Structure 1
Amino acid sequence: MSGAIDKVAWLLLEDGKVLCARSRGKDTFYLPGGKREQGETDEETLRREVEEEVSVRIEPDRIDFFGTFEAPAHGKAAGIPVRMACYRADYTGTLAPAAEIEELAWLGYADRERVSAVCGLVFDRLREQGLIE
């Protein structure tokens, strides 16, 4: 779908839960990550956005593609989709909210209604694969 918002997201799983972030003034959680800057690769976007949002460094040699998901963009006009490439990756550092992030939370499938539509699709896939509770 052309005109989609192009995003790259980090998928961090621990004990059957997914690390999610919530921006200041928002009520919906999403996977850490963000929009690609001009000329950036997925890996470059992932590394930059994760460091900006959750204060850790992605290990470049341990990045694995999980899937691309598309759904209506949260908080945007009807008909505007978001296409999100998700990657699993190891990291160094201590997770902490930074920049516009107000809160980090470990969410399970029961929390699906608290995440954006595109993240909900990721949660569905994780549940199908037995990776989240």
Structure 2
Amino acid sequence: KDKTQWHNYVKPLVHAYNCTKNDTTGFAPYELMFGRQPRLPVDLAFGLPLHCKNFQSHSEYIEKLKATLQESYKLATKNAQKMAEKNKMRYDTRIKPSRLEPGDRVLVRAVRLRGKHKLADRWEADI
């Protein structure tokens, strides 16, 4: 529609992303940040309670939150490691090792470039 109003959509989109389960970690970023499921407008529409757990004290709440977050971090790390291994295996099945022989032409990255060099050649022709 009106592309000049894009900034009005950033916050709702970020919130939607943060409330969506991540395939790699298995958790929504919101859960890993706050230690609980987000409360969404759809929860009110279905009549779900806003306060699920009653705690006796603030310290009890803090202890429970700390334990929940630690367990979530452990699971998210384990899930991310499993996904990284799976992605590596998938990548390794498609990659073919290359053999270089003396005299083969190769590109050498020009590492001396610093700063703004958008249009500069990133590869050296001669060594």
Query: Normalising to structure 2: TM-score of the pair?
Result: 0.19
Q: Return the structure number with greater helix share.
A: 2
Query: Normalising to structure 1: TM-score of the pair?
Result: 0.18
Relative contact order (C-alpha < 8 Å, sep 6+): which is higher?
1
Q: Return the structure number with greater strand share.
A: 1
Larger radius of gyration: 2
